[in-house]
Structure 1
Amino acid sequence: MADLVVGDDGLARPTWASHDALLRDYYDAEWGMPVRDERGLYERLSLEAFQSGLSWRTILAKRPAFRAAFADFDPEVVAGFGDDDVARLMADAGIVRNRRKVDATIGNARATLALRDAGGLPAFLWGFQPAETPVPHSYAEVPTSSPESIALAKALRKAGFAHVGPTTMYALMEAVGMVDTHLVGSHRRGSSGVWA
């Protein structure tokens, strides 16, 4: 299949994860594995928002700097960020310096804390897990949004979150194992334990 490449290790991976060591390691160990803790989900939500309009490779390479800049994505700490922190972030060449995305990350931390009284971010996000997952044989069969990601984006915006469009939320759902869009034939298909 043209969209899968068998590596020297004999494992089939999608082309995007087959040539770059950073992307390959991320694909093999992290992408599509269930994330169910508040900090982990807040981090993924934040990074997906920063990725909008950029390559995931760019964000992944900057992830250590993002973690340092945003207090390891501790929502309680980030929720307390003020003008001095925004100025610091906008001067940090290690991250993506986009004011709207920086503001959204801080606002989303506050929205994350506000969700605690209603069961928390993990229960909120995972409440939009679909009943079925795609079974793609090629990239062309991988959706970029779904009814669930559209509903999730709308619900998050209503809860005070920003930079949470349907396509970004679908990418989040893929990244945290809520759907399994590993191509059929990939060594990772079904590895999350969420989908048989």
Structure 2
Amino acid sequence: MRIEDKRIIPPITNRVVLSHWIEMLLFRRRLVDIDYSSTENLFQAAKCANLCDALFVAHALDSREAAMFGQGRMTLSDAHRERLIKYGANPDDFQRAKSNSWKRTASGYPLMREDWDSIKPYVMMTALRLKFDVPSVGAAIVQTGAQEAVNSLTALAARDENILLVEHVDRDRQWGDGLLGEGTNMLGKMLTQLLWEKRHGCTYPLDLAWLRRPNNTVAEYP
């Protein structure tokens, strides 16, 4: 599915609580029946190679902390370290940062699953389908907030227009457009696909080549 429309629409970025994650993407039964506090928590949990790190992200962190942990930017407290050890982390893997604080590893990053770069678009798309309750996903969603975003996408789907949604931000050239369109806008394109899926009551396969194109090749920028 390719949408070559030139219309730029403000991004839909709010999050909702998710439950019943797709086991085929997480490969871990213990991560399926969890109410995640945000799509960020779910996304970062799916990234982890070790179950202890995934459970820590799922149960112990808010969305900001989940992003920091997954990106190797989080300084851990003694309590964080003890909780990770409780989930099965090796105590020898931690590196002392300063008094009463730790890094998860020498690099600061939790071990990432080897196939992450290839599967992360599918993880994000499945999380968004759960969030926006697209038919045929086969998973439940618990909506405790951001209902306005869900309603907005549903309203756009009801309009007979070829709309391209854009995550219009300057610091993200993968999920956003980089402000000037040099970014790929993967989040906006996935939301655009969700719009079409809601409109037609079915799901479409991801077009990775389209997702990875710079957004200024599919939308005009001033």
Q: TM-score range by the shorter chain?
A: under 0.3
More helix by percentage: 1
Higher relative contact order (CA 8 A, sep 6+): 1
